[in-house]
Amino acid sequence: MKPLPLRTTLLAAGLIVALAACHKQEAPPMPPPPEVGVVTAQPQNVPLVQDQVGRLSALRTADVRARVPGILLHRLYDEGTDVKAGQKLFKIDPQPLQAELDQQLAQLASNKATAINAKAQADRARGLIGKHYVSQQDLDTAEATERTANASVKQSEAAVQAARINLGFTDVVSPIDGRAGQQQVTEGALVGQNETTLLTQVDQIDKLYVNFSMSVADLDTMRSAAAKGNATLSATDKSTIRIQLPDGSDYAEQGVLDFSSATVNPQTGTVNLRAQLANPDLRLLPGQFVTVKANLGELHNVFLVPQDAVLRDANSAYVLVVGEGHMKDPQTGEDKTVPSAAVRRPIQADRLSGSNWVVTGGLKQGDQIIVQGLPKARENAPVKPAAPKAEGADGAPGQAGAPGAPAGKQ
Q: What is the mean pLDDT of each run of 10 residues along the chain (410 residues)?
A: 52 53 53 88 90 94 95 95 96 96 96 94 86 84 93 96 96 95 94 92 96 90 87 88 89 93 89 94 92 91 91 89 78 73 89 86 91 88 86 43 39
Q: What is the CB neighbour count within 10 angstroms for residue 265?
A: 12
According to DSSP, the residues that pair with 244 across neighbouring strands are 250, 291
Compute, in degrees rounded to 10, the torsion defined by CA atoms 150, 151, 155, 158: 70
Those residues whose C-beta lies under 8 Å from the C-beta of residue 245, and which sit 6 or more positions away, are 251, 290
User: If residue 52 lies in a helix (H) or strand (E), which one and from where to where?
Assistant: strand 44-66
The DSSP letter of residue 382 is B
What is the structure's pLDDT at 391? 62
Burial status of residue 364 (CB atoms within 10 A of its CB: 0-12, 13-18, 19 or more): exposed
Which residue type does 282 have? L
3-state secondary structure of 363: coil
Q: Tell me the C-alpha distance between 27 and 310, whole Å.
A: 37
pTM as predicted: 0.70
What is the structure's pLDDT at 173? 96
Q: Tell me the C-alpha distance between 306 and 371, whole Å.
A: 7
The DSSP letter of residue 5 is P
The DSSP letter of residue 184 is S
What is the structure's pLDDT at 341? 85
Q: Tell me the C-alpha distance between 190 and 69, whole Å.
A: 7
How do beta strands 384-386 and 35-40 pair? parallel
Compute, in degrees rounded to 10, the torsion defined by CA atoms 277, 281, 282, 288: -60
3-state secondary structure of 331: coil
CA-nearest of 368, 376, 369 to 395 is: 376
